[in-house]
Amino acid sequence: MVKDAKEEVSEQIEELKKNIEYTKKAKEAAEKIRNRIKERKDTLRRRYQEKVESEKALREKIKEREKEERERRKKLKDSCPQAKVRTYECGDDGYRIIKKFTYKYDFD
């Protein structure tokens, strides 16, 4: 009876040791999975931030080009001569001739 109790207790101890070992392995595996998930999240977050920054830089670059183009067109437009009006009077028939010179440019 005492021997049976000792064997039973030793079997329970062995089973508990196996359960503890299994729990440690499961905990390590869960920790590895958590680390992989964290690394993946960090990688995805970093890629998203890089994408957002590159798109922002691209938008700023496009805005800068548009601004330069507007300035160039304004400069060209300002360099064009203004419209001129010339009037001529004819003495014999009494008609006045008006000539208007308008300059139109296509900058596109």
Report the alpha-carbon distance of residue 41 to residue 47 in Å, rounded.
10
Of 57-71, 72-86, 90-104, where does mean pLDDT reach its minimum? 90-104
The pLDDT value recorded for residue 97 is 78
The pLDDT value recorded for residue 1 is 62
Non-local CB neighbours of 100 within 8 Å, separated by 6+ positions: 83, 84, 85, 86
pLDDT in tens, 7-49: 888 888 999 999 999 999 999 999 999 999 999 999 999 999 9
Structural domain includes residue 69 = yes
Structural domain includes residue 55 = yes
The boundaries of the domain holding residue 62 are 2-80
The pLDDT value recorded for residue 73 is 85
Query: What is the chain's mean pLDDT, rounded?
Result: 87
* Tally of structural domains, the chain: 1
Structural domain includes residue 64 = yes
Structural domain includes residue 39 = yes
Q: Angle at the Cα of 42 (from 39 to 43), degrees rounded to 5? A: 85
Q: Which of 67, 81, 76, 79 is nearest to 107 (CA)?
A: 76
Q: Is 35 helix (H, G, I), strand (E, B) or coil?
A: helix
Residue type for position 41: K
Structural domain includes residue 93 = no
Instruction: Calculate what percentage of the chain has a pLDDT beyond 90.
Output: 53
Which tokens sit at 102? 């308008």
Q: How confident is the model at residue 85 (pLDDT cuts 50, 70, 90)?
A: confident
Give Cα 21 distance to the centre of its chain: 48
Structural domain includes residue 97 = no
Report the alpha-carbon distance of residue 85 to residue 79 in Å, rounded.
19
Structural domain includes residue 101 = no
Structural domain includes residue 90 = no
The pLDDT value recorded for residue 2 is 64
The pLDDT value recorded for residue 75 is 87
